[in-house]
Amino acid sequence: MNDALLTLLKAVDTPTVCNAIEVAQGKRGFDAFTRGSMLCSDPDASTMVGYARTAKIAAVAPPTEPADVIKARRMDYYRHMSAGPRPAIAVVEDVDFPDCIGAYWGEINTTVHKGFGLSGALTNGVMRDLGDLPEGFPVVAGSVGPSHGFVHVREIGTPVSIFGMSVKDGDLVHADRHGALVIPEDVIASLEGAIRQLLETEKLVLGPAREPGFDFDGFVTAWEAFERART
């Protein structure tokens, strides 16, 4: 991912990228995105773009492994999150889903991850401390809750599932208040052009629709131009 593409991806929302991937692929049917409604800690925050640093956690029940094993894995988790290419996003599956109760993403943990240089967090689990999370580190989560429960790390760097979206460690992820998607590796080279093409094509309808006096006849003319540009 070059700097120009990164800058552009940060400037557009996730639905735009979702559509642009289909432009790049030349067909409809892209499906590597989250399903259902997710919550964003800061709906006005900038878009998250980065390579996934994956892990799995649990919190409903206490861990059954020895305490020293759990502690060592926790340190391995933070080592994993602190390493790897940047930009990066923490993508953490709570295996208790849909009955998640442990708010892994609170003021301390988000501040630590931001300090590691991550751009945000994506999880099917719980967040808390809303209003006290660090600026510039949005969390897109499955729910909000008050307790950390018995939260502990289960796996590090393994494939995860977030609201129906499969993510491998190192996948390029785009996320905002709408949810998230994984950008296919084979469209990265053409994605910048596809986004710009999409934005220009949308203007063929949006421009006339925003003009005074727009009516059905104006819509037909604009839509025909829009359809020609999409084919």
Q: For residues 226 and 201, is the Cβ–Cβ distance under 8 A?
A: yes
What share of the chain in percent tops pLDDT 70? 100
pTM of the entire predicted model: 0.93
Residue showing tokens 């953490």:
92
Mention every residue, 6+ apart, whose C-beta is less than 8 A from residue 182: 32, 33, 52, 165, 166, 167, 171, 172, 173
Would you place residue 231 in the very low, low, confident or very high pLDDT band (cuts 50, 70, 90)? low
pLDDT digits (tens, 9 = 90+) for 43-84: 888 899 999 999 999 999 999 999 999 999 999 999 999 999
**Whole-angstrom Cα distance, residue 95 to residue 101?**
11
User: Cα–Cα distance between 17 and 231 in angstroms, integer?
Assistant: 19
Q: Which phi and psi (to 5°) does residue 94 adopt?
A: -90, 115
Q: Whole-angstrom Cα distance, residue 71 to residue 78?
A: 11
pLDDT band at 96 (very low <50, low <70, confident <90, very high): very high
SS3 132: coil
- Angle at CA of residue 80, ends 76 and 83, nearest 5°: 140
Q: Give me the DSSP letters along 85-102.
A: SSSEEEEEEETTTTS---
pLDDT digits (tens, 9 = 90+) for 27-36: 999 999 999 9
For the record, the structure tokens of 45 come out as 């925050």
Average pLDDT over residues 6-35: 95
Q: Which domains are present in the chain?
A: 31-183 (3.50.30.40), 189-230 (no CATH)
Does the pLDDT of residue 206 top 70, yes or no? Answer: yes
Please determine, for residue 1, whether its predicted confidence score (pLDDT) is greater than 90: no
Provide the pLDDT for residue 213. 94
Give the pLDDT confidence score for residue 105 in this predicted structure.
Answer: 98
- Long-range contacts at 206-212 (CB < 8 A, ≥ 24 apart): none
With a cut of 90, say whether residue 150 has pLDDT above it: yes
